[in-house]
Amino acid sequence: MNKIVLIVLCLIFSVTASCDNDSSSVDKKKNVENKVVWKMASSFPGSLNIIGEGALNFVERIDQVSNGFITIKFFEPGALVPALEVFDPVSTGAIDAAWSTPGFWAGKIPAAQFFTAIPFGPSPGELLGWYYYGGGKDLWEEIYHKHNVHPVQCLMISPEASGWFKKEIHSLEDLKGLKMRFFGLGAIVMGKLGVSTQLLAPGDIYPALELGTIDALEFSMPIIDKDFGFYQIAKHYYFPGWHQPFSTNELLINLDRWNALSSSQKAQIETTCTESVVKSLAMSETRQPEALEFYESVGVTLHRWPDEILEKYKEAWDQVVEEKASENEDFARVWNSLSAYRDKYKVWKSLGYVD
Amino acid sequence: MNKIVLIVLCLIFSVTASCDNDSSSVDKKKNVENKVVWKMASSFPGSLNIIGEGALNFVERIDQVSNGFITIKFFEPGALVPALEVFDPVSTGAIDAAWSTPGFWAGKIPAAQFFTAIPFGPSPGELLGWYYYGGGKDLWEEIYHKHNVHPVQCLMISPEASGWFKKEIHSLEDLKGLKMRFFGLGAIVMGKLGVSTQLLAPGDIYPALELGTIDALEFSMPIIDKDFGFYQIAKHYYFPGWHQPFSTNELLINLDRWNALSSSQKAQIETTCTESVVKSLAMSETRQPEALEFYESVGVTLHRWPDEILEKYKEAWDQVVEEKASENEDFARVWNSLSAYRDKYKVWKSLGYVD
C-alpha cells in the first residue's frame, strides 16, 4: 500500500473515529477514541492571575494528555453566558462545561460552599484526605449529579487575605456598620459581627470602593488582589483569611457528556485536573511574597488579626454553621462528614506535625 | 468502504503505527502512539501500605490514562535487581524504570536526599511551590540526567514518626550510645547527638530489634510501621518525625527511553504521577489515626518530644547541613535554592496562615 493511499485512509479513519461499534475493544486495542470538542464557559477572565491562568493551562494540558482527542475551548466570562450563571447551562447541556467555583451556587446548593472553602478548615493534606478517602468527593458528585452536572476539582489556591479596609480596625466594635464586599460562608460570619455584606462581581468592586458604596472588601489573595488596584484606595490589608484557608475551583461538565466519555478520557480529565490542583497551589504559594513586598513599597499596612479577634470569628462561624446545617440537609451531611473526619484526625495532627 | 475492510486497515494501521514519517503530526491527528511496554523494578514490595500500594495503583492508572498504550510491569524487590540497587540498572538501560526513593542514593548523589525529605522542611504547599516554581524540579532532573536517569515525583506521604525506643527517653543524655536504625539525613543528625546509626533494609529491622542488635529504630509512619510489628518489642513511640516532615518517592526512567516518548506520553506519565502524589498524601493522612488508636489498644505509649529536645535536633541539623553543603557542590546548590525560597516565603507563612 503506498503512502498516499495510507494517508487518505488515515483521514477517513479519523472521521469514522472507530473501526466498529464495539468502541470499548477498539478503544483499548487501538487507542482510538471518539474525539471530544467542548465549549467551556468561565466565571473568571483568562487574564486573572492563577485562577484564570489555570483555565488556560488546563485546556492546553488536556489537549496534550489526550493527544489532541479532547479539545476544550475556553470562553471568556460573558462570551457564552454571564460569569455567575454558568451552572444552569451546563446542567441543561446548552454548554458542555464551565470553569467556576462552587461557592457561587450558594443560593441553589448551600452545601456547594464547602467545596470552595471551609472557614477555619484543614490544611491541604487533611483536606485532600477527607476529599478522596473521607467521603468529600463522593458527596460533591452525588449532590451535583442531582442537577445533571459532574464536578471535577481542578484548581486550588493558598489562603486568601482577610480583606482590605479603608480604616484600621482596632476592635470588633470598629466592624459594626461597615459595608463590605464578601464572598461565601465568611460573609454570613461577618454579618453576625454587624458587617453589612454584599457579593459584587470582580469588576464592580473597585468602583464601589472608590464611590464609597463599600468601606471594605475581601476578594482574594495578595497576588490576585494586586491586579485590581484596591491598594490605591484602602491602605489596611488584614490577614489571615480565616474564611478561605484553602479554596478550590471546579471544572463543571454536563453529566450526560461526562457519562459518554470512555474510561480513558475520564481518567485523562481527572489526572489533568489533579495536576492543575497541585500546580495552582504551588503557583499561589510562590507568588504571595512578591505581592506583599510590593504592598509595603506603596505604603499599605499589613496587619495580622490578634488571636482574640480570630477567636471571635471562630465563635461566630461555629454558630453560623450550626444554623445553616439545621436549614439544609445536604449542607448538614457535608458538614457532618467533614467534622467526623476532623475529629478522628485531631490526634494525628497534634502528634505528627512539628508545628 | 465496508466494515471488514476498515477493520483490516485498522489492524495494518496499528502495526505501521503512523501514516508517514512525520510522527509528530500523525501523533496529533490520529492519537496513534508507539506502544510502550516497560519493566519497573521496585525498592518496596507491592504489599507495603501506601508506598508499595502506590506503585500498583500507578501502573493500573497509567494503563488507563494512556488507553493501554503505556504498560508498566511492576516487579517485586529482588525479582529483577536487589531492592536497594535499582538506580544503576535504570541508568544503563538494563531495566526501563524503577519505583524507589531518592534518599537511597545518598552515597552516590548526596543531593538526592532532599528529594525524599527535608528535616524541619516545609509543609506540602511550600514544598510544591519550591519544587515547581522555585527550581526544585529542574535541579532534580539536571542532577539525575548526569546519570542518564529521569526522575518523576510520583508519591508523597505525611510526616513520619520519630521512632521506636525500647526505653523511654527523658533527656538527650538517654540517646547517647543507643544503637538505632535510621534513614537519610536524619541519621547524621542522630549521630551528632551520640546515637550509633545504621541503615537496615525493611525486612531486617524486626529481627535486629528482637536480637538486641539495635535498641531503637525509625522506619516510617504509624500505619506503615504497624505491619512490621515493631510495637511488639519496643513500647515507646515518639513524634513528630522532624527528620521527614513530608517524603516523596520517585519513578525513575532511563533517560533515553524518556526522551523517546511523545510529548503526549510524557504528559500522561507526569499527570498520572502527580495524581499519585495527591492520592498517596490523602491516603496517608487518612490512615494514621486508626493506627494510633491501635497502638494505644496494645499498650504502646505515644510521646511527643518536648520543644527543647526538638530545638536540639534542629540545632544539630543546622550543623549537619552546613557540613554536607561544604563537601558536595550539588548538595549545596539544592540547599541554597531551597533556603532562598524559604527565606522569601517566611513573610507569607507568618501572615497568611491561621496556625
Q: Say how far apart CA B302 and CA A340 lie, in whole Å.
A: 23
Residue A123, min C-alpha distance to chain B (Å):
9
Q: Does A116 touch chain B (CB under 8 A)?
A: no
- Residues of A in Cβ contact (< 8 Å) with B2: none
Q: Does A41 touch chain B (CB under 8 A)?
A: no
The CA distances from residue A164 to A197, A222, A230, in Å, are 13, 10, 7
Please determine, for residue B152, whether its predicted confidence score (pLDDT) is greater than 90: yes
Q: Does B6 touch chain A (CB under 8 A)?
A: yes
Q: Does A347 touch chain B (CB under 8 A)?
A: yes
Residue B3, min C-alpha distance to chain A (Å):
7
Q: Does A327 touch chain B (CB under 8 A)?
A: no
- Residues of A in Cβ contact (< 8 Å) with B64: 263-264, 267
Please determine, for residue B10, whether its predicted confidence score (pLDDT) is greater than 70: no
Average pLDDT, chain B: 91
Q: Does A1 touch chain B (CB under 8 A)?
A: yes
List chain A residues with pLDDT less than 70: 1-33
- Residues of A in Cβ contact (< 8 Å) with B32: 30-32
- Residues of B in Cβ contact (< 8 Å) with A13: 6, 9-10, 13, 30
Please state the rounded mean pLDDT for residues B134-158.
98
Please determine, for residue B2, whether its predicted confidence score (pLDDT) is greater than 90: no
For residue B128, what is the enclosing H or E element? Answer: helix B124-133
User: What pLDDT does A34 receive?
Assistant: 87
**What CATH number was assigned to the domain covering residues B163-245+292-349?**
3.40.190.10
In this chain, the answer to whether the domains covering A32-156+247-286 and A163-245+288-352 adopt an identical fold is yes
Is A307:B252 a contact under the CB 8 Å cutoff?
no
Please provide the distance, in angstroms rounded to a whole number, between the alpha carbons at the two ends of chain A: 68
Q: Which of A55, A54, A51, A62 lies closest to A41, judged by CA? A: A55
**What CATH number was assigned to the domain covering residues B34-157+246-286?**
3.40.190.170
Inter-chain CB proximity A354 and B159 less than 8 Å? yes
Strand pairing report for B247-254 and A301-304: unpaired
Q: Say how far apart CA A233 and CA A83 lie, in whole Å.
A: 26
Q: Does A289 touch chain B (CB under 8 A)?
A: yes
| Grid cell of A26 as nine digits | 477498539
Q: Mind giving me the DSSP string for A263-288?
A: HHHHHHHHHHHHHHHHHHHHHHHHHH
User: What pLDDT does B32 receive?
Assistant: 57
- With b for 16 or more beta-carbon neighbours within 10 A and e for fewer, the A172-193 pattern comes to eeebeebbbbbbbbbbbbbeeb
The residues, ordered by sequence, that sit 6+ positions from B231 with a Cβ below 8 Å of its Cβ are: B164, B225, B237, B295, B298, B300
Domain boundaries, chain B: 34-157+246-286, 163-245+292-349
Q: Say how far apart CA B256 and CA B252 lie, in whole Å.
A: 12
Q: Say how far apart CA A50 and CA B161 lie, in whole Å.
A: 35
Q: Does A20 touch chain B (CB under 8 A)?
A: yes
Residue B10, min C-alpha distance to chain A (Å):
7
Please state the rounded mean pLDDT for residues B20-46.
68
Q: Which of A121, A78, A101, A262 lies closest to A184, judged by CA? A: A101
**What CATH number was assigned to the domain covering residues A32-156+247-286?**
3.40.190.170
Q: Mutate one of A15, A21, A285, A313 to test the B interface: name it (highest B CB count within 10 A).
A: A285
- 3-state secondary structure at position A196: strand
Please determine, for residue B9, whether its predicted confidence score (pLDDT) is greater than 80: no
Q: How many beta-carbon pairs under 8 angstroms link A with B?
A: 245
Q: Which of A134, A230, A240, A2 lies closest to B288, judged by CA? A: A134
Residue B267 is nearest to which of A29, A65, A354, comparing CB atoms? A65
Please determine, for residue B45, whether its predicted confidence score (pLDDT) is greater than 70: yes
- Cβ neighbour number for residue B177 with a 10 Å cutoff: 10
Inter-chain CB proximity A30 and B10 less than 8 Å? yes
For residue range B226-281, list pLDDT tens digits in order. Answer: 999 999 999 999 999 999 999 999 999 999 999 999 999 999 999 999 999 999 99
Q: In CATH, what is the architecture of A163-245+288-352?
A: 3-Layer(aba) Sandwich (3.40)
Q: Does B155 touch chain A (CB under 8 A)?
A: no
Secondary structure letter of residue A159 according to DSSP: P
Residue B31 is nearest to which of A32, A159, A290, comparing CB atoms? A32
User: What pLDDT does A355 receive?
Assistant: 83
User: What pLDDT does A32 receive?
Assistant: 57
Least confident of A16-30, A319-333, B119-133, B183-197: A16-30
Q: Say how far apart CA A187 and CA A196 lie, in whole Å.
A: 9
Q: Which chain B residue has the Cα nearest residue A159? A: B352
User: What pLDDT does B202 receive?
Assistant: 82
Q: Mind giving me the DSSP string for A37-54?
A: EEEEEESS-TTSTTHHHH
Confidence of residue B181 (pLDDT cuts 50, 70, 90): very high
Please provide the distance, in angstroms rounded to a whole number, between the alpha carbons at the two ends of chain B: 68
